[in-house]
Amino acid sequence: MSGGRKLEVSAAAPDSAPVPRRSIWVERLSLSNFRNYAVARLDLTRDPVVLIGPNGAGKTNLLEAVSLLAPGLGLRRAPFAEVARLGGLGDWAVAARVHTPHGAVDIGTGRLPGQDAAEAGYRTGRLVRIDGITQPGSGALAEWVEMVWLTPAMDGLFTGPASERRAFLDRLTLCFDPGYRTRAGQFERAMRQRNRLLQDGVADEARFAGLELIMAETGTATAATRAQAAAALEATIAARRERDPNSPFPWSRIALDGWIEQRLAELPAVDVEDAYLAGLRSGRERDRAAGRTLVGPHRMDMTVEHGPKAMPAQHCSTGEQKALLIGLVLAHAELLTERRGGAAPILLLDEIAAHLDASRRAALFAEVLRLGAQAWMTGTDRHAFAALEDSARFLHVEEGRIQSVT
């Protein structure tokens, strides 16, 4: 929004609206100096939200703002300095009133003007406050908010680098173990220090031994928690298959492919930890030649197979891959709902209707409503969301301006 004007859009629920299932949902969202918004505010109900407008209007920017109410870097994974509005002072803020299984909570996040993260005293590149209390990092948001998203950038999940599939699995894994992010971070830091020793030609046995012990402990724990999450996702996929064997979003098989992961399927974790520690020690010269650590959870890949066709996902057609991906995302959301005692996560579905035919769009919208989630969906064509006319809040977005659609 230009000119610094404040925009408010309210979405009052009709008196006759049925009481939906419990969910995590945003009641109020306020933006300041965020992307192309100088100031904006939305007041909403727990119903799905459909953002309609031309490309470049700021629809995805709103989804990105919502994604920052959860731990991590958000759906674009952009450096936090880059989300500030052009022409501003470099500061930005996202604030929200969010309803959660623990009750309503006020969440604020952003950056202060004229300061980098270190100067401002926050570790993760953005300040996070929960009910007015400053948090040590965004990880504290995991207790309150669960979120699942699907963006056009994820269309290459099956054909792109393994890092994208690891990131997908890691978002799921966070709900299983609040300490997962901490342990994974400890592994990454120890590995970077070990890599530096390898690259610099250092031969300090004590330093290597200390770092490799940390890597063995945290790396094995990281892989074990991922395996637990993958198994739970597989179980949810199986339940969905039994419930709807003819779903247009086919069931899939998933597997974790990696040195540690393969051994965890056969051995106790303590034995795998010892084996990984021994492998790091014996592999130093090999890793030195490569200039990096070649074995560990950072090399894991998640393989996905189109279940009905028994075909690797990367060999499926573009349309089949999209349907598989939607099926995985819906299973992810359903699993989180179960783990939250029936409270559905927030869904962020960017340009979700663009490449789906009418029957698959209708099936997707039915899944969203069945789940009871506050889904934020974007598109350029309102008619593509006609099946949600009586169930969702429609907003028109253009050049950073938001208007209610009647």
pLDDT at residue number 120? 52
Q: How far apart are CA 262 and CA 270, in angstroms?
A: 14
pLDDT at residue number 167? 92
Structural element, H or E, at residue 313: none
Q: How far apart are CA 65 and CA 67, in angstroms?
A: 5
- Positions of the chain with pLDDT lower than 50, given as ranges: 1-20
Burial (CB < 10 A; 0-12, 13-18, 19+), residue 246, is exposed
Q: How far apart are CA 355 and CA 378, in angstroms?
A: 13
**CA 238 to chain CA centroid, nearest Å:** 22
Q: How far apart are CA 5 and CA 37, in angstroms?
A: 10
The full set of domain ranges for the chain reads 8-146+340-404, 178-303
Q: How far apart are CA 170 and CA 148, in angstroms?
A: 12
Q: How far apart are CA 101 and CA 131, in angstroms?
A: 15
How many alpha carbons lie under 13 Å from residue 377 in its C-beta half-sphere? Answer: 27
pLDDT single digits (tens) 107-156 = 999 998 865 555 555 555 899 999 999 998 888 998 899 999 999 999 99
pLDDT at residue number 21? 52
pLDDT at residue number 18? 37
CATH number of 178-303: 3.10.20.70, 3.40.50.10420, 3.90.79.10, 1.20.1050.90? 1.20.1050.90
pLDDT at residue number 19? 38
**Largest Cα–Cα distance of the chain, in whole Å?**
73
pLDDT at residue number 228? 95
Assigned token pair, 93: 């803020």
Beginning with the edge strand found earlier in the chain, give each strand of the sheet holding 301-306 in spatial order. 252-257, 301-306, 311-312
Burial (CB < 10 A; 0-12, 13-18, 19+), residue 357, is exposed
DSSP 86: T
* 329 contacts 236 by C-beta, under 8 angstroms: no
CATH dotted code for 8-146+340-404: 3.40.50.300
pLDDT at residue number 355? 83
Residues listed for the chain? 406
